[in-house]
A and B are shown apart, each in its own frame.
Chain A
Amino acid sequence: MLGAVFTSRAAVQAGEWDFSGSIAGELRVFPNAPAFDEQDDTRLSPSIAVEPEVVFEWNGGGDRITFVPFGRLDAHDDNRSHVDLRELNWLHVADDWDSVVGVDKVFWGVTESRHLVDIINQDDAVEDVDGEDKLGQPMINLNLFRDWGTVSGFILPGFRERPFRSNDARLRGALPVDDDNASYESSAEEYHVDFALRWAHTFDDLDVGVAHFHGTSREPRLLPRVNNDGRVVLVPRYDQIDQTSLDAQLTKDAWLWKLEAITRSGQGDRFFATVAGFEYTIFGILDSNADLGLLAEYLYDGRDEDDAPAVITDDDLFLGARATLNDEQDTTFLIGGIVDREDQSTSFSIEAERRLGEFWKMELEGRIFVNVDKDDLILNGIRDDDVITLRLTRFF
Chain B
Amino acid sequence: MTFYKKHHTRAHSGLATLIVTALAVTGALATPAALAESPEEKGLAIAVEADKRDLGWVDSEAELKMILTNRNGETSTRELRIKTLEVQDPDVGDKSLTIFDHPRDIEGTAFLSHTKITEPDDQWLYLPALKRVKRISSANKSGPFVGSEFAYEDLISQEVAKYTYKWLRDEACGDLQCFVIERFPVYENSGYTKQVVWIDQEEYRAMKIDFYDRKDSLLKTLVNADYKEYLDQYWRAHTLQMDNHQTGKSTTLTFEEYQFKIGSNEGDFTSNRLKRAR
Contacts and interface: CB of A to CB of B under 8 A. Distances in A.
A145 B131 contact: no
B68 interface: yes
Contacts of A55: 278
A204 B121 CA distance: 10
B272 A200 contact: yes
Contact of B147 (A91, A202, A251, A330): A330
A32 to B, nearest CB: 30
A270 interface: no
Given A326-B143, A327-B147, A358-B104, A253 B137 contact: yes
Interface residues of A, number: 54
A22 B105 CA distance: 8
Contacts of A57: 278
A105 B130 CA distance: 8
Nearest to A98: B276
Contact of B70 (A6, A107, A328, A330): A328
Contact of A253 (B106, B120, B142): B120
A200 B274 CA distance: 13
Contacts of B133: 107
Contacts of B278: 55, 57, 61, 64
Interface in B135-153: 135-137, 139-140, 142-144, 146-147
Given A2-B101, A10-B259, A326-B144, A145 B139 contact: no
Contacts of A106: 131
B137 A254 contact: yes
Given A107-B130, A358-B76, A358-B77, A330 B267 contact: no
Please provide the 6 A-B residue pairs with the shortest distance between their CB atoms, ordered closest to farther: A395-B104, A150-B272, A283-B140, A328-B147, A107-B131, A254-B139
Contacts of A61: 278
A395 B107 contact: yes
A378 interface: no
A289 interface: yes
Interface in A336-380: 355, 357-361
Contacts of B105: 22, 330, 355, 359-361, 393, 395
A17 interface: no
Interface residues of B, number: 44
A24 to B, nearest CB: 11
B67 to A, nearest CB: 11
B54 interface: no
A110 B147 CA distance: 25
Contacts of B77: 358
B84 interface: no
A96 interface: yes
Interface string A46-86: 00000000010100010010000000000000000000000
Contacts of A107: 130-133
B256 interface: yes
B65 interface: yes
B143 A291 contact: yes
Interface in A9-47: 10, 20, 22
B65 to A, nearest CB: 7
A245 to B, nearest CB: 16
Nearest to B74: A328
Given A93-B276, A106-B131, A254-B137, A355 B144 contact: no
A106 B101 CA distance: 22
Contacts of B65: 2
Contact of B137 (A143, A251, A289, A360): A251
B103 interface: yes
A22 B103 CA distance: 12
B56 to A, nearest CB: 22
B131 A105 contact: yes
21 contacts: A3-B63, A6-B256, A20-B104, A61-B278, A96-B267, A107-B133, A132-B130, A145-B273, A200-B272, A253-B120, A253-B139, A254-B140, A289-B144, A291-B143, A326-B143, A326-B147, A328-B147, A358-B102, A393-B105, A395-B105, A395-B107
A202 B135 CA distance: 10
A2 B135 contact: no
Contacts of A64: 278
B118 interface: no
A253 B116 CA distance: 13
B270 interface: yes
Contact of B103 (A95, A284, A326, A358): A358
A328 B76 contact: yes
A363 to B, nearest CB: 10
Contact of A202 (B68, B106, B130, B271): B271
Contacts of A207: 135, 271
A393 to B, nearest CB: 7
Contacts of A222: none
Given A145-B273, A328-B70, A396 B139 contact: no
A330 B273 contact: no
A74 B259 CA distance: 48
